[in-house]
């Protein structure tokens, strides 16, 4: 059996469930040593860890750390260094949001705005910054930032979420230029994806399916497959934002 990521060490932030979990499972299936991460959902993270496949010599682990807290990011990288010595793959997937209608500016509080900024943008940057010494030891490292089509459409859960995802896409380009040629940096922008978050949305979800040219929402596995392609097949790609939305953005 050919495992394209055999012996690679991969950190996926926010990987206890949803898209992050699907990425963790996909990379583990291809032979990677996966580091599951979560800030608070420890039980779910441990369940994810138990579901990761293994081959002889494969080592997975869970590291609890909140990317909103710089000191916890530093501690996470120290643990990775102690356990693995290097890092080949970083997927910045951790995210939070709150639903605030765009025209209700007073409801977008400083706490909501700062939380989204610290998680989606500052947290992603600090993970790259603190992981850099470990990734330089790889010789063929890759970073994938999970953004959103909201970065392009400015349609999303709130104004801050859309703005931070747009900033993440922009930062991806800057990092790709700054870290070349040894570290590739790309982004993936999912459309509406089937996760626990959208359960109960009812008519809104049905409307989005009807407006999507491919006739369905993305699955978490669709996003995981896109990450895998960037890591293994699209090796001459850096600084790009891959849209995975079934064509929804075209309508």
| CATH of range 9-244; options 3.30.420.80, 3.40.50.720, 3.40.1390.30, 3.50.50.60 | 3.40.50.720
Q: Would you say residue 161 has pLDDT above 80?
A: yes
Residue 235: predicted pLDDT: 96
CB atoms closer than 10 angstroms to residue 221: 16
Catalytic residue chosen out of the listed positions 84, 86, 161, 204: 161
Q: The pTM is what?
A: 0.97
Residue 1: predicted pLDDT: 66
- CA angle, corner 146, sides to 227 and 71, nearest 5? 115
pLDDT tens track for 105-122: 999 999 999 999 999 999
For the record, the structure tokens of 36 come out as 């599951």
Strand pairing category for 61-64 and 241-244:
unpaired
In whole angstroms, how far apart are CA 108 and each of 7, 104, 116, 156? 44, 7, 11, 13
Distance between CA atoms of residues 149 and 169, nearest Å: 10
Residue 201: predicted pLDDT: 76
Domain extent listing, the chain:
9-244
Distance between CA atoms of residues 52 and 78, nearest Å: 23
Say whether 236 is catalytic. Answer: no
pLDDT band at 56 (very low <50, low <70, confident <90, very high): confident
Is 99 in contact with 158 (CB distance < 8 Å)? Answer: yes
């Amino acid at each position: 059996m050919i495992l394209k990521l055999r012996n690679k060490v991969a950190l996926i932030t926010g990987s206890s469930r949803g898209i992050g979990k699907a990425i963790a499972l996909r990379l583990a299936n291809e032979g990677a040593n996966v580091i599951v991460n979560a800030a608070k959902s420890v039980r779910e993270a441990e369940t994810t860890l138990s579901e990761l496949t293994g081959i002889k010599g494969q080592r997975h682990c869970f590291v609890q750390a909140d990317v909103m807290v710089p000191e916890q990011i530093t501690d996470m990288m120290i643990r990775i260094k102690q356990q693995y010595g290097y890092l080949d793959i970083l997927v910045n997937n951790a995210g939070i949001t709150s639903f605030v209608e765009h025209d209700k500016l007073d409801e977008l509080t400083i706490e909501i705005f700062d939380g989204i900024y610290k998680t989606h943008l500052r947290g992603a940057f600090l993970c790259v910054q603190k992981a850099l010494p470990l990734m330089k030891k790889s010789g063929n490292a890759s970073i994938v930032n999970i953004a959103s089509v909201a970065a392009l459409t400015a349609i999303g859960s709130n104004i801050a979420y859309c703005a931070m995802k747009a900033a993440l896409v922009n930062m991806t380009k800057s990092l790709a230029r700054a870290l070349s040629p040894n570290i590739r940096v790309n982004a993936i922008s999912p459309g509406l994806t089937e996760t626990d978050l959208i359960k109960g949305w009812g008519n809104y979800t049905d409307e989005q399916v009807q407006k999507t040219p491919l006739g369905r929402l993305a699955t978490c596995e669709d996003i995981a497959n896109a990450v895998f392609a960037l890591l293994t097949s699209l090796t001459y790609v850096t600084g790009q934002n891959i849209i995975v939305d079934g064509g929804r953005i075209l309508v």
